Amino acid sequence: MFSKILIANRGEIALRVIRACKELGVQSVAVHSTADANAMHVRMADEAICIGPPASAASYLSFPAIISACTITGAEAVHPGYGFLAENAEFAQILEDHGITFIGPSAEHVRMMGDKITAKKTMLELGVPCVPGHEGGVDSANEAAAVAAEIGFPVIVKATGGGGGRGMRIAHSPEQIDSAYSTARSEALAAFGNDEVYIEKYIERPRHVEVQIIGDGKGKAVHLGERDCSLQRRHQKILEEAPGPSITPEMREDIGSRCAAAAAGIGYSGAGTIEFVFSDGEFYFIEMNTRLQVEHPVTEAVFSVDIVREQIRVAAGLPLSFSQSDLAIRGHAIEVRINAESLPDFRPCPGRVTAFHAPGGPGIRMDTPIYMGYEIPPWYDSMIGKVIVHASDRNSALAKLSQALDELIIDGIDHTVPLFQELVTNPDIKSGSYDVTWLERWLLGRFQ
């Protein structure tokens, strides 16, 4: 096992990793920008080091700053959390070259899955069902029109290097393909510095269902069932649950074992998520995330496992601490992401937290870096915490979520708790019958 790990992140996920390090008896090093000098992860880690000014490009995304911090503190491994450098193959490679362990898959696997065209090809070869489409990039508006006609409308134009719901445009008819193609391309260039796009069938009103896998890097892998993340705004998840309300044990076993076999087949190391759109009982692969996900706690709750601990163990060369037959689902878990945002337009609302009280009681977990008096900086993602509930069944989990949200107090800033308080009473949410377009439609009606 490592003796010291540096966490190249901030916010709730930095705290999450520090907690796992403490339980494993591993020293933890926090890094922070000058804007985060008073952040909770800085206080909670065994050591902390300032790595630059507020702008992420000069701090949390700076290879030299992070590698220097490893050298100065003697950290042997880096946990990247999610976001920032978590899916940066070059970063994983440079760490490797410096003899520092990247807590995640190999640079090769990060690169393979970071390019969505290569990821899709690889998954198809490994027996994972994919969205029908064109295998390869599309280089001109004319080619886009031809490919779209061949696939059949509606289609979705997607950035090869995409993430965070950006660089994606739907075309419902031939008239829309030109603008979908050029908008997706320019958005992709601005967001990812790579304007390569591809086209696939747009599956109408699907659910988003994703499978959690963990591989030991030596050809063994297990799956930890699925999460349903269909409540989305602008293709970004805001509520996640496990197990998926529309997934039967047979479906879980089938897709889960295919995903585990695919991960084992490439010798995948660490935690990963294989994402699908799900419609009419069929799964269609859309992408693989080669990192810890924001929503990992719902899986931890229903399987009674610690995914971060497992990531660290595998990176240290230890075997998986469970096999597939040890894993069974117990109950139902739901997570909501709390953002410092003002409704109805979800405008970021940084500022000082003047009062804070976290919900408690059996089956309630809140992962958050905020505290009373904390000044939420304007520089970073607006997510300020997650409330996760676990109960014997879905209805009880929703009741628990409702009570946890009522108990939660965050004063001084606007946030999205009132939105969830309203959503938990909605009949469609209660019955679990919603798809990825549901929330946008509901918001239109609610805030018109």
- Residue 87 engages ligand ADP in binding (rule: CB under 6 A): no
Least distance in angstroms from the C-beta of 142 to ligand ADP: 22
Q: Annotate each residue in 387-426 with x if it binds ligand ADP (CB under 6 A) or - if it does not, as one string.
A: ----------------------------------------
Among 10, 111, 208, 291, binds ligand ADP (CB under 6 A): 208
Number of chain residues interacting with ligand ADP (CB under 6 A): 20
Q: Does 309 bind ligand ADP (CB under 6 A)?
A: no
| Count of CB atoms situated within 10 Å of the CB of 256 | 23
Place of tokens 């240290």: 316
Instruction: For the CB of residue 359, give the shortest distance to ligand ADP in the complex, in Å.
Output: 28
Which two structure tokens, joined as six digits, stand for 35?
Answer: 């804007």
The two most distant CA atoms of the chain are separated, in Å, by: 60
Q: Write the binding mask 127 to 146 for ligand ADP: x where contact by CB under 6 A, - elsewhere.
A: ----x---------------
Residue 81 beta carbon to ligand ADP: minimum distance, rounded to whole angstroms: 17
E strand or H helix at 50: strand 47-52
Cβ pair 400, 363 in contact under 8 A: yes
Both structure tokens of 209:
């269902």
Contacts of 421 (CB under 8 A, 6+ apart): 402, 405, 406
C-alpha span between 168 and 284 (Å, rounded): 17
310 is a site residue for ligand ADP (CB under 6 A): no
Residue with tokens 């879905």: 394
Q: Where are the alpha helices (DSSP H) in 126-167?
A: 141-151
Backbone φ and ψ for 64, nearest 5 degrees, come out as: -60, -40
Residues 103 and 80: beta-carbon distance below 8 Å: yes
Which one from 10, 252, 291, 337 is the annotated catalytic residue? 291
Please calculate the CA angle 141-232-372 and round it to the nearest 5 degrees.
Answer: 130
Contact flag: residue 273 with ligand ADP (CB under 6 A): no
Is residue 436 involved in binding ligand ADP (CB under 6 A)?
yes
Per CB under 6 A, does 242 bind ligand ADP? no
**Given 48, 180, 277, 338, the residue binding ligand ADP (CB under 6 A):** 277
Q: Residues 195, 216, 275, 341: which binds ligand ADP (CB under 6 A)?
A: 275
Q: Which of residues 286-305 bind ligand ADP (CB under 6 A)?
A: 286-287
Q: Which of 442, 205, 236, 412 lies closest to 344, judged by CA? A: 442
Paired with 297 in beta bridges are none
Q: Which is nearer to ligand ADP, 200 or 310 (CB)?
A: 200
Q: Is 212 in the site for ligand ADP (CB under 6 A)?
A: no
Report the interhelical angle of 174-192 vs 141-151 (nearest 10°).
120
52 vs 206, beta carbon nearer ligand ADP? 206
Q: Which is nearer to ligand ADP, 51 or 436 (CB)?
A: 436
Q: Shortest CA distance to 147 belongs to which of 200, 183, 184, 91?
A: 200
Complex with ligand ADP: residue 374 or 442, whichever CB lies closer: 442
- In this complex, which beta carbon is closest to ligand ADP, that of residue 132 or of residue 373? 132
Nearer to ligand ADP, 200 or 216 (CB): 200
| Contact flag: residue 255 with ligand ADP (CB under 6 A) | no
Q: Cβ–Cβ contacts within 10 Å for residue 385, how many?
A: 22
Distance in Å, CB of 257 to ligand ADP, minimum: 22
Is 166 labeled as catalytic in the residue annotation?
Answer: no
| Phi/psi of residue 18, nearest 5 degrees | -60, -40
Cis check: omega of the bond before 319, within 30 degrees of 0 = no
- Closest to ligand ADP by CB, 26 vs 138, is 138
Pick out residues in 143-202 that bind ligand ADP (CB under 6 A). 156, 162-165, 168, 200-202
* Residue positions counted in the chain: 448
Annotated catalytic residues are: 291
- Which positions lie near ligand ADP, rule CB under 6 A? 131, 156, 162-165, 168, 200-203, 206, 208, 232, 235, 275, 277, 286-287, 436
